[in-house]
Amino acid sequence: MTIQAQFPKEQTEEGEFKRQEDSFRDWVTADGTSGYPAAHGRYHLYVSWACPWAHRTIIVRKLKHLEPVIGMTVVDPIRDDRGWAFRDGPGHSTDPINGFTVLSEAYQSTDPTYHGRVTVPVLWDKETKRIVSNSDDDIMRMFNSAFNGLTDSTVDLCPEELREEIDRLNVFLYENVNDGVYRAGFATSQKVYENAVRSLFEALDSLESRLSTQRYLFGTRTVETDWRLFVTLIRFDAVYHGHFKCNIRRIVDYPNLFGYLKDLYQDEGISDTVNLDHIKRHYYITHDDINPTRIVPLGPDQDFHAPHGRDHLE
Protein backbone atom coordinates (compact mmCIF):
# COMPACT_ATOMS: atom_id res chain seq x y z
CA MET A 1 0.00 0.00 0.00
CA THR A 2 1.32 3.45 -0.95
CA ILE A 3 1.26 5.93 1.91
CA GLN A 4 0.57 9.51 0.84
CA ALA A 5 2.74 12.08 2.60
CA GLN A 6 1.09 15.31 3.67
CA PHE A 7 3.73 17.35 1.83
CA PRO A 8 5.56 14.97 -0.57
CA LYS A 9 8.32 17.47 -1.44
CA GLU A 10 9.21 17.66 2.26
CA GLN A 11 9.29 13.91 2.91
CA THR A 12 12.42 11.76 2.87
CA GLU A 13 12.54 8.25 1.42
CA GLU A 14 12.72 6.96 5.00
CA GLY A 15 9.38 8.57 5.79
CA GLU A 16 10.60 11.59 7.75
CA PHE A 17 9.07 15.04 7.43
CA LYS A 18 11.72 17.68 6.70
CA ARG A 19 10.19 21.15 6.82
CA GLN A 20 11.13 23.54 4.02
CA GLU A 21 13.24 26.59 4.81
CA ASP A 22 11.68 30.06 4.89
CA SER A 23 12.24 31.79 1.56
CA PHE A 24 11.73 35.47 2.35
CA ARG A 25 14.10 36.82 5.00
CA ASP A 26 14.26 40.60 4.60
CA TRP A 27 14.15 42.69 7.76
CA VAL A 28 12.34 45.75 9.10
CA THR A 29 14.69 47.99 11.09
CA ALA A 30 14.11 51.04 13.26
CA ASP A 31 16.55 53.16 11.24
CA GLY A 32 15.54 51.85 7.82
CA THR A 33 19.03 50.80 6.80
CA SER A 34 17.59 47.47 5.64
CA GLY A 35 15.40 49.24 3.09
CA TYR A 36 12.35 48.52 5.25
CA PRO A 37 12.02 51.24 7.91
CA ALA A 38 9.63 50.75 10.81
CA ALA A 39 6.60 52.92 10.09
CA HIS A 40 3.04 53.26 11.30
CA GLY A 41 0.62 51.53 8.93
CA ARG A 42 3.17 50.46 6.32
CA TYR A 43 3.19 46.72 7.08
CA HIS A 44 0.44 44.14 7.19
CA LEU A 45 0.44 40.68 8.74
CA TYR A 46 -1.29 37.75 7.02
CA VAL A 47 -1.95 34.92 9.48
CA SER A 48 -4.04 31.94 10.46
CA TRP A 49 -5.41 31.56 13.99
CA ALA A 50 -4.88 27.83 13.46
CA CYS A 51 -1.17 27.87 12.64
CA PRO A 52 1.24 27.75 15.59
CA TRP A 53 4.00 29.51 13.63
CA ALA A 54 1.65 32.41 12.81
CA HIS A 55 0.27 32.37 16.36
CA ARG A 56 3.70 33.30 17.70
CA THR A 57 3.73 36.53 15.69
CA ILE A 58 0.15 37.35 16.68
CA ILE A 59 1.16 37.04 20.34
CA VAL A 60 4.20 39.31 20.01
CA ARG A 61 2.10 41.87 18.10
CA LYS A 62 -0.37 41.76 21.01
CA LEU A 63 2.23 41.97 23.79
CA LYS A 64 4.07 44.83 22.10
CA HIS A 65 0.82 46.83 21.57
CA LEU A 66 1.42 46.90 17.83
CA GLU A 67 -2.17 46.37 16.70
CA PRO A 68 -2.62 50.07 15.76
CA VAL A 69 0.75 50.03 13.96
CA ILE A 70 0.61 46.77 11.98
CA GLY A 71 -2.65 45.60 10.43
CA MET A 72 -3.63 41.93 10.33
CA THR A 73 -5.84 39.75 8.16
CA VAL A 74 -6.77 36.16 9.01
CA VAL A 75 -7.18 33.46 6.35
CA ASP A 76 -9.82 30.74 6.29
CA PRO A 77 -8.68 27.88 8.57
CA ILE A 78 -9.72 25.31 5.96
CA ARG A 79 -6.83 25.05 3.54
CA ASP A 80 -7.75 23.45 0.20
CA ASP A 81 -5.81 22.55 -2.96
CA ARG A 82 -5.21 26.25 -3.64
CA GLY A 83 -3.68 26.72 -0.20
CA TRP A 84 -4.58 29.40 2.34
CA ALA A 85 -7.52 31.48 1.10
CA PHE A 86 -9.20 34.76 2.02
CA ARG A 87 -12.92 34.27 2.63
CA ASP A 88 -15.45 35.96 4.87
CA GLY A 89 -16.44 33.85 7.86
CA PRO A 90 -16.30 33.65 11.66
CA GLY A 91 -12.84 34.92 12.63
CA HIS A 92 -11.53 35.29 9.06
CA SER A 93 -12.10 37.62 6.13
CA THR A 94 -11.36 38.65 2.59
CA ASP A 95 -8.15 40.58 1.97
CA PRO A 96 -8.70 44.34 2.47
CA ILE A 97 -5.18 45.31 1.41
CA ASN A 98 -4.58 43.76 -2.00
CA GLY A 99 -7.82 41.96 -2.79
CA PHE A 100 -5.98 38.65 -2.98
CA THR A 101 -8.26 35.60 -3.00
CA VAL A 102 -5.47 33.20 -2.04
CA LEU A 103 -2.21 33.84 -0.18
CA SER A 104 -0.19 32.35 -3.02
CA GLU A 105 -0.88 35.58 -4.92
CA ALA A 106 1.31 37.43 -2.40
CA TYR A 107 4.11 34.95 -3.03
CA GLN A 108 3.78 35.18 -6.81
CA SER A 109 3.65 38.99 -6.67
CA THR A 110 6.92 38.98 -4.74
CA ASP A 111 8.67 36.22 -6.72
CA PRO A 112 6.96 34.88 -9.87
CA THR A 113 9.40 31.94 -9.88
CA TYR A 114 8.45 30.76 -6.38
CA HIS A 115 7.38 27.10 -6.34
CA GLY A 116 7.60 26.22 -2.64
CA ARG A 117 4.77 25.69 -0.20
CA VAL A 118 2.79 28.82 0.71
CA THR A 119 2.90 29.36 4.45
CA VAL A 120 1.81 31.79 7.16
CA PRO A 121 2.76 34.14 8.68
CA VAL A 122 3.55 36.67 5.98
CA LEU A 123 4.69 40.22 6.71
CA TRP A 124 3.67 42.35 3.74
CA ASP A 125 5.02 45.77 2.81
CA LYS A 126 2.20 47.91 1.42
CA GLU A 127 4.64 50.46 -0.06
CA THR A 128 6.80 48.13 -2.18
CA LYS A 129 3.94 45.62 -2.55
CA ARG A 130 6.00 42.60 -1.65
CA ILE A 131 6.64 40.12 1.15
CA VAL A 132 9.23 41.27 3.65
CA SER A 133 9.35 37.99 5.54
CA ASN A 134 7.60 34.65 5.89
CA SER A 135 9.85 33.63 8.79
CA ASP A 136 8.04 33.59 12.12
CA ASP A 137 11.41 33.62 13.92
CA ASP A 138 12.44 36.85 12.19
CA ILE A 139 9.03 38.50 12.48
CA MET A 140 8.96 37.85 16.23
CA ARG A 141 12.34 39.56 16.62
CA MET A 142 11.32 42.47 14.39
CA PHE A 143 8.14 43.04 16.37
CA ASN A 144 10.10 42.83 19.62
CA SER A 145 12.48 45.69 18.85
CA ALA A 146 12.21 47.39 15.44
CA PHE A 147 8.92 49.14 16.25
CA ASN A 148 9.82 50.29 19.76
CA GLY A 149 9.60 53.93 18.69
CA LEU A 150 5.97 53.42 17.66
CA THR A 151 4.61 51.69 20.77
CA ASP A 152 4.22 52.43 24.46
CA SER A 153 5.23 48.86 25.34
CA THR A 154 8.54 48.37 27.13
CA VAL A 155 8.31 44.57 27.00
CA ASP A 156 11.53 42.92 25.83
CA LEU A 157 11.03 39.28 24.91
CA CYS A 158 14.65 38.72 23.93
CA PRO A 159 16.91 40.58 26.37
CA GLU A 160 20.53 40.75 25.31
CA GLU A 161 21.82 39.10 28.50
CA LEU A 162 19.68 36.00 27.83
CA ARG A 163 19.90 35.86 24.04
CA GLU A 164 22.44 33.06 23.81
CA GLU A 165 20.46 30.88 26.22
CA ILE A 166 17.20 31.80 24.50
CA ASP A 167 18.57 30.83 21.10
CA ARG A 168 19.86 27.51 22.46
CA LEU A 169 16.55 26.57 24.09
CA ASN A 170 14.63 27.73 21.01
CA VAL A 171 16.53 25.19 18.91
CA PHE A 172 15.84 22.41 21.42
CA LEU A 173 12.14 23.25 21.48
CA TYR A 174 11.88 23.50 17.72
CA GLU A 175 13.55 20.18 17.02
CA ASN A 176 11.83 18.16 19.73
CA VAL A 177 8.52 19.86 20.52
CA ASN A 178 7.33 22.56 18.08
CA ASP A 179 8.32 20.63 14.96
CA GLY A 180 8.48 17.35 16.88
CA VAL A 181 4.70 16.98 16.86
CA TYR A 182 4.73 17.41 13.07
CA ARG A 183 7.57 14.93 12.64
CA ALA A 184 5.40 12.43 14.49
CA GLY A 185 2.13 13.35 12.78
CA PHE A 186 3.52 13.49 9.25
CA ALA A 187 5.74 10.40 9.56
CA THR A 188 5.08 7.73 6.96
CA SER A 189 7.03 4.93 8.64
CA GLN A 190 6.60 3.34 12.06
CA LYS A 191 10.26 3.76 13.01
CA VAL A 192 10.34 7.46 12.14
CA TYR A 193 7.08 8.04 14.03
CA GLU A 194 8.29 6.24 17.16
CA ASN A 195 11.61 8.11 17.19
CA ALA A 196 9.81 11.45 16.92
CA VAL A 197 7.33 10.62 19.69
CA ARG A 198 10.03 9.39 22.05
CA SER A 199 12.08 12.56 21.52
CA LEU A 200 8.95 14.68 22.01
CA PHE A 201 8.02 13.14 25.36
CA GLU A 202 11.59 13.11 26.62
CA ALA A 203 11.60 16.85 25.93
CA LEU A 204 8.23 17.38 27.64
CA ASP A 205 9.45 15.40 30.66
CA SER A 206 12.53 17.64 30.90
CA LEU A 207 10.39 20.77 30.63
CA GLU A 208 8.07 19.46 33.35
CA SER A 209 11.10 19.13 35.60
CA ARG A 210 12.46 22.57 34.67
CA LEU A 211 9.12 24.20 35.47
CA SER A 212 8.87 22.51 38.88
CA THR A 213 11.15 25.12 40.44
CA GLN A 214 10.55 28.26 38.36
CA ARG A 215 7.47 29.98 37.03
CA TYR A 216 8.66 30.45 33.45
CA LEU A 217 11.41 28.94 31.33
CA PHE A 218 13.89 31.64 32.37
CA GLY A 219 12.62 32.44 35.85
CA THR A 220 10.11 35.12 36.80
CA ARG A 221 9.65 36.80 33.41
CA THR A 222 8.34 35.54 30.09
CA VAL A 223 10.58 35.66 27.04
CA GLU A 224 9.94 34.66 23.44
CA THR A 225 10.79 31.04 24.23
CA ASP A 226 7.79 30.77 26.55
CA TRP A 227 5.47 31.85 23.75
CA ARG A 228 7.14 29.48 21.30
CA LEU A 229 6.30 26.66 23.69
CA PHE A 230 2.82 28.01 24.48
CA VAL A 231 1.55 27.72 20.91
CA THR A 232 2.35 24.00 20.89
CA LEU A 233 1.01 23.31 24.37
CA ILE A 234 -2.34 25.04 23.70
CA ARG A 235 -2.89 22.78 20.66
CA PHE A 236 -1.54 19.60 22.17
CA ASP A 237 -4.49 17.93 23.88
CA ALA A 238 -7.00 19.17 21.30
CA VAL A 239 -5.01 18.15 18.22
CA TYR A 240 -1.55 16.64 18.57
CA HIS A 241 -2.48 13.98 21.15
CA GLY A 242 -5.03 12.32 18.87
CA HIS A 243 -4.60 13.65 15.35
CA PHE A 244 -0.80 13.35 15.35
CA LYS A 245 -0.74 10.24 17.60
CA CYS A 246 1.35 11.97 20.29
CA ASN A 247 -0.57 10.02 22.88
CA ILE A 248 1.82 8.78 25.55
CA ARG A 249 0.57 11.55 27.81
CA ARG A 250 -1.56 14.69 27.58
CA ILE A 251 -0.44 18.11 28.76
CA VAL A 252 -3.14 17.96 31.43
CA ASP A 253 -1.27 14.94 32.83
CA TYR A 254 1.77 17.13 33.54
CA PRO A 255 1.00 19.25 36.65
CA ASN A 256 3.70 21.83 36.00
CA LEU A 257 3.27 22.11 32.24
CA PHE A 258 -0.50 22.37 32.50
CA GLY A 259 -0.26 25.00 35.25
CA TYR A 260 2.30 26.88 33.16
CA LEU A 261 -0.01 26.70 30.13
CA LYS A 262 -2.90 28.18 32.14
CA ASP A 263 -0.61 30.85 33.58
CA LEU A 264 0.44 32.01 30.11
CA TYR A 265 -3.11 31.79 28.76
CA GLN A 266 -4.26 34.12 31.54
CA ASP A 267 -1.65 36.77 30.69
CA GLU A 268 -3.38 39.95 29.54
CA GLY A 269 -4.71 39.68 26.00
CA ILE A 270 -3.40 36.18 25.28
CA SER A 271 -6.78 34.44 25.33
CA ASP A 272 -7.80 36.79 22.50
CA THR A 273 -5.15 35.15 20.32
CA VAL A 274 -6.42 31.58 20.88
CA ASN A 275 -9.15 30.30 18.55
CA LEU A 276 -9.62 26.60 19.24
CA ASP A 277 -12.45 26.36 16.70
CA HIS A 278 -10.08 27.44 13.91
CA ILE A 279 -7.34 25.22 15.31
CA LYS A 280 -9.41 22.05 15.39
CA ARG A 281 -11.19 22.62 12.10
CA HIS A 282 -7.92 23.34 10.32
CA TYR A 283 -6.12 20.19 11.40
CA TYR A 284 -8.99 17.71 11.32
CA ILE A 285 -10.48 18.92 8.03
CA THR A 286 -7.39 20.02 6.09
CA HIS A 287 -5.29 16.92 6.84
CA ASP A 288 -7.69 14.49 5.20
CA ASP A 289 -4.90 11.98 4.51
CA ILE A 290 -4.62 11.63 8.29
CA ASN A 291 -8.33 12.11 9.05
CA PRO A 292 -10.26 10.93 5.96
CA THR A 293 -13.70 11.41 7.57
CA ARG A 294 -12.90 15.08 8.31
CA ILE A 295 -14.90 14.74 11.53
CA VAL A 296 -13.86 17.35 14.10
CA PRO A 297 -13.90 16.11 17.72
CA LEU A 298 -15.90 18.01 20.30
CA GLY A 299 -13.34 17.83 23.11
CA PRO A 300 -11.36 18.13 25.14
CA ASP A 301 -13.25 20.17 27.73
CA GLN A 302 -10.48 22.10 29.50
CA ASP A 303 -10.73 25.27 31.58
CA PHE A 304 -7.70 27.47 30.91
CA HIS A 305 -9.15 30.14 33.22
CA ALA A 306 -8.90 27.85 36.26
CA PRO A 307 -6.30 28.73 38.93
CA HIS A 308 -2.81 27.87 37.74
CA GLY A 309 -1.18 27.70 41.17
CA ARG A 310 2.19 29.06 40.05
CA ASP A 311 2.30 32.48 41.75
CA HIS A 312 4.63 31.17 44.48
CA LEU A 313 7.40 30.17 42.08
CA GLU A 314 10.42 32.39 41.53
Total Cβ atoms within 10 A of residue 161:
7
Catalytic residue among 182, 216, 260, 284: 182
Q: Which residues, in sequence order, are bridge partners of residue 80?
A: 83
Measure the CA–CA gap between 122 and 107, rounded to whole angstroms. Answer: 9
Catalytic residue among 51, 240, 246, 283: 51
Asked about 51 being catalytic, the answer comes back as yes
The residues annotated as belonging to the active site are 51, 182
